[in-house]
Structure 1
Amino acid sequence: MLFNSIEFTIFLPTVFLLYWFVLNKSLKLQNALLLAASYVFYGWWDYRFLSLIVFSTILDYSIGRALLKEERQSIRKVLLWSSIVVNLGFLGFFKYYNFFLDNFVAAFTFFGKEISTSSLNIILPVGISFYTFQTLSYTIDVYKRKLTPETNFIAFASFVSFFPQLVAGPIERATNLLPQFSKTRRFSYSKAIDGMRQILWGLFKKIVIADNCARLANLIFNNYETYNGSTLVLGAIFFTFQIYGDFSGYSDIAIGTSRLFGFDLKRNFAYPYFSRDIAEFWRRWHISLSTWFRDYLYIPLGGSRGGLTMKLRNTFIIFLVSGFWHGANWTFIVWGGLNAIYFLPLLLSNKNRNHIDIIAKGKLFPSFREFIAVITTFGLTVLAWIFFRAENVTHAINYIISIFKGGLFALPNLDNYNLLLAVLSLTFIAFFLTIEWLGRENEYAIEGIQIKTGNRRILRWSFYTLIWTFIFIFSGNEQEFIYFQF
């Protein structure tokens, strides 16, 4: 079920009304409703894959209970690795089986040995990368005694399958989300309004920014041989805003929807395109994933505590694994490796923690130096996104080469209709960036609009009406969220 679908506009208020006005007297019934709603939400795509979520839920719930009773360290390690192997085994089979098989065959062919195998027609379960990491965080934290195992199965199952963030995050830690299922929740009008406001901004990002940029990005990337350099640069920029609007828009809708039900999810994006270096970008982009890898992979490997060799090794491991997490394609690995290369000079010069606060905090404009740093970081990010978007590495390299073949400083050679669409999309991007810049010190861009407009309700509602109008105009171009494929 898509957040931007007719089905969801019926589903959400129905669950909301039952949750707050029928079952509000019983926490257990509220949790049971959320569990049932989450299974309906997920099963809307393919009910057969519900069995994977149920199995993963039962496995990690049982292992958590066993860890609670077990004191022998050797047995505790067996229980932990059972969870890791089974969960990553499912993820590896559904997501990477054909990738490893194809590369295995290619390696033998390269050395002159022909072998015959047959790939499997495997359907990737939606959201498997997200809920697998979520359940793994639970088992690891229980093993490390950072978290007391959950004894209420309904509460735990609701945590694993919580529908707002089930299929594309944020990847919630059990230490943050799971305890919220055990606390009595009271309806808060201000919290619900804030949730609706964040949902509105998320829908704008998805429908107006991402989906419009997607039409041009797909056109240009799929036919890059026919376009001049300036058009190819535009295509890369459009994809840059497509993936940001698409993914951060989903996160905003997920966080806002959770707030409607009395839950607080962690922030997943913090204005990454205003970053002054690549280290800051990665502190602001897909925060739930980058911090997951930091805490459960980078730090256990030694982090940056060792010598130069260990620092280099761990940095490349974290970025390459992050790239591979996104999909079974060498393009994602190259994308991760390229970001590692960007990051290394900052790490080696101990400048990777230079920019912690948001740019130009308390000011209207950045300094010239900050502006140049943002533009440079943005340009490097756009270049890396070409590999992320391309069908394969050859496609990405040819795309980049074609940028410099000719027409880099000429007008884009799009036909009249697509040129008009490009101008319209750039106008929306400029509007979007302006709102993001003005609201960059908030959790999300329009969070503080009530403070900025004060008692001038007409200004506030005029802005909301404008956003809703844009969403309504472009809502016919319904597209899945990019990160559903990851």
Structure 2
Amino acid sequence: MLFSSISFIYYFLPIVIMLYFIVPFKFKNLVLLVSSVFFYFYGEPVYSILILISSLSGYLHGLWIDKSRKSRYAKLPLICSIIFSIGILLYFKYADFFIENVNWLFNLKIAPLKVVLPIGISFYTFQILSYTIDVYKGNAKVQKNYFSFAAYVSLFPQLIAGPIVRYTTVEQELSKRSHTTENFAYGVSRFIVGLSKKVLIANTLGELGRVFSNLNERTILFYWIAAISFMLQIYYDFSGYSDMAIGLGRIFGFHFLENFNYPFISRSISEFWRRWHISLGTWFRDYLYIPMGGNRLGTVKWIRNVIVVWFLTGFWHGADWNFIVWGLYFGIFLILEKFLLNSILNKLPACAGHIYTLLFVTISFVIFNASNMTECIESVKGMFGFLNIPLSSAETVYYLSSYGFVLIIAAFGATPLTIKTIEKIKCSKKGEFIINVLEPIVLLSLLLLITGYLVDGSFNPFLYFRF
């Protein structure tokens, strides 16, 4: 079930909210658990049992870790938890990738398993691992109520596409959280904003991507338009989903952390990754990079740590070589920035850093979006004029004029200018009054417009479902 669907917005969500606020607090987690399982079952009936098994595994391993804390085998339950969780992820997400590459490497003909990827498995696996690791380290108390723990793992606002919510973030709120009119209003507002980003901007940019993929005659300009539109599409798709998840969480009393912080205003690749998919970057930092030694063990081991982390960051996104190349691409840039590029960028005007970052981030998403490395190389060649194609054409100009307004809105909206403008207006009492009056009108208008789009059956994918 998509957040950006009529069934979710007008049927599922209102019923869940009504039931949630009717029942006493001691049953609220149970309502969320049952609702989340139904939500998952609606989209993945076959694998609904898998998320319950994974939840049970995390819950039991947490109890085992807590019980074994002072024994000589205290690490054993943690190791078992990691093996179980990673093992499930490797099988369901990467089994056929490994078979394909073993066949190629050794000239074998092992039949692929054709395992269907369960929705959200990458996200909820990392959430379970964060819990068992934090319980082992003493950073989180063991959860003794299975229903509360299962509700945390399967919580539908962030289940299928993140952000990755660590147990420590919601540990207190699982047992005690407040519900206020202010939180509810903020949650609704944030949800509609995220829904607007997804339906009105990301989906429209996705349509432009479909146009490009169906074109027989391409131009250099159109390659660039396609690359930029995909980069903006995936930003609005994923950040829109994160906004919706944060808003829904707030409605139910949870405070999820921000997952994006205007990444396209960055002046370096390092800064970009401090602003993009924050929950994933900090997860790898805290649970892999720092335990491996971080930057404390000398230059050679630091480079090793960076390469390992970014190899796995790319691999986490998908079972294909273009994702691995995409991850290593960023890892190499981070190494180059530390030893060479930062010293150069710091001496240049700020705009040079922005241009550098946007250029190489755009190329990175060409790698990310490619079906295979051959297509990736062809796209990069097309962008830089190595395919013997014209710079532009009447068809390119037509599509640029057709989608130009959306591209401008998307580029403008990816900066903090809108928020800063609103904050500046609200500095005066009159401005604050105007914003307070206009806000519900604008939000309601957006919701009605979105409803029209969804009823019309517009193009409506979620890119991060495949991760």
With structure 2 as the length reference, what TM-score do the two structures score? 0.92
- Contact 1:210–1:245 under 8 Å retained in 2: yes
Question: In 2, Cα distance between the equivalents of 1:460 and 1:162?
Answer: 29
Q: 1:414 aligns with which of 380, 396, 401?
A: 396
Question: In 2, Cα distance between the equivalents of 1:71 and 1:401?
Answer: 56
Question: In 2, Cα distance between the equivalents of 1:446 and 1:290?
Answer: 30
Number of the residue aligned with 2:137: 144
Deviation at 1:264, TM superposition (A): 0.4
Question: In 2, Cα distance between the equivalents of 1:466 and 1:32?
Answer: 34
Question: In 1, Cα distance between the equivalents of 2:70 and 2:257?
Answer: 34
Determine whether 1:399 maps to 2:379: yes
Deviation at 1:33, TM superposition (A): 0.3
Question: In 2, Cα distance between the equivalents of 1:200 and 1:7?
Answer: 15
Q: 1:275 aligns with which of 256, 266, 270?
A: 266
Code of the aligned partner of 2:432 = G
Q: 1:156 aligns with which of 149, 163, 170?
A: 149
Question: In 2, Cα distance between the equivalents of 1:450 and 1:2?
Answer: 34
- The percent of aligned pairs where both chains have the same amino acid is 38
Q: 1:236 aligns with which of 212, 227, 236?
A: 227
Deviation at 1:431, TM superposition (A): 4.7
Number of the residue aligned with 2:404: 423
Number of the residue aligned with 2:126: 133
| Matching of residues 466-485 of structure 1 within 5 Å | 467-468=446-447, 470-472=449-451, 474-475=453-454, 476-485=457-466
Deviation at 1:433, TM superposition (A): 3.8
Question: Unmatched 5+ residue regions in structure 1?
Answer: 110-114, 356-367
Number of the residue aligned with 1:62: 60
Question: In 2, Cα distance between the equivalents of 1:94 and 1:473?
Answer: 37
Number of the residue aligned with 1:375: 355
Deviation at 1:411, TM superposition (A): 5.0
Number of the residue aligned with 1:35: 33
Number of the residue aligned with 1:107: 105
Deviation per residue, 1:135-168 (Å, 9 max, x gap): 0110011111111101111111111111100111
Determine whether 1:7 maps to 2:13: no
Deviation at 1:438, TM superposition (A): 3.1
Cα distance, 1:180–1:186 mapped onto 2, change above 3 Å:
closer
SS at match of 1:75: coil
Code of the aligned partner of 1:372 = A
Deviation per residue, 1:278-303 (Å, 9 max, x gap): 10100011100000000011011110
Q: 2:292 aligns with which of 301, 312, 316?
A: 301
Number of the residue aligned with 2:109: 116
Question: In 2, Cα distance between the equivalents of 1:72 and 1:165?
Answer: 35
Determine whether 1:201 maps to 2:193: yes
SS at match of 1:165: coil
Deviation per residue, 1:107-131 (Å, 9 max, x gap): 113xxxxx22111121100000000
Deviation at 1:186, TM superposition (A): 3.4
- Contact 2:219–2:391 under 8 Å retained in 1: no
Code of the aligned partner of 2:269 = I
Question: Unmatched 5+ residue regions in structure 2?
Answer: none
- Contact 1:31–1:158 under 8 Å retained in 2: yes
Deviation at 1:432, TM superposition (A): 2.3
Greater shift in the superposed pair: 229-238 or 419-428? 419-428
SS at match of 1:48: coil
Number of the residue aligned with 2:80: 82
Deviation per residue, 1:177-212 (Å, 9 max, x gap): 1321111x3321111111111112111111111111
Code of the aligned partner of 1:2 = L
Deviation at 1:102, TM superposition (A): 0.4
Deviation at 1:324, TM superposition (A): 0.3
Question: In 2, Cα distance between the equivalents of 1:335 and 1:446?
Answer: 36
